[in-house]
Chain A
């Protein structure tokens, strides 16, 4: 299925400065795997060392957070848009 994957500003330097890329993918996980296959430097910002999507990386298919769908197994339909939307977090060492 043809899907557009939108890349947030913070990650564009690691994705050839592109704002979006297009793939044929069956699932969200498949699309992300293709993305990080082409742009390997993205991987460390999207995934933990044990291969899980980082907690502050939010993945949406159209306007739905994949956490409330089938996570990385969420199927893609033709024309869907995947968005990577940051959460921002931090705090003092205490």
Chain B
């Protein structure tokens, strides 16, 4: 289960709307606990797919390392990634599956005509054959904030 407070969910949706019609992307920093994986902060990132930003996103190794350092600085872990699907459902594509890492939570927000819609989360199966849906539990508590580079 992925635990996301309302402010973080609002910021993820907002990023999707801001970057529409291109895909947005970013890292989720938090804590992985037995009761669930809690997202505490976001680390927004630049979509490095200049050639096809409307239907592809890319986070480089350098950006990964920056997100990892940000997590460490905050006493948190890199727990997953978010990206948007402009004018497309919040379901992972075959391309998403081919390029996914296990363990991480993958949040997808659908942005239709610039308006954020469904937000879902997914975990890659151990054999890489498919994604399993991950329940998102929404908290009402005060937001911890958003980390910026």
Interface residues of A (CB under 8 A from B): 8-14, 41, 44-45, 55-56, 58, 60, 65, 85-94
- Is A88 touching B25 in the complex (CB atoms < 8 A)? yes
Q: In whole angstroms, what is the CA distance A67 to B60 when docked?
A: 14
Would you list 17 pairs from A and B whose C-beta atoms are within 8 A, ordered by A residue? A8-B101, A9-B78, A9-B103, A10-B102, A11-B101, A11-B102, A56-B101, A88-B64, A88-B99, A89-B95, A90-B99, A90-B106, A91-B57, A92-B23, A92-B88, A93-B95, A94-B54
Interface centre among B56, B99, B104 (most CB of A within 10 A): B99
CB–CB B94/A87 < 8 A: no
Query: Looking at chain B, what size class is its interface with the partner chain?
Result: 35 or more
* Assembled-state Cα–Cα distance A72/B113 (Å): 45
A77 to B61, CA, bound (A): 23
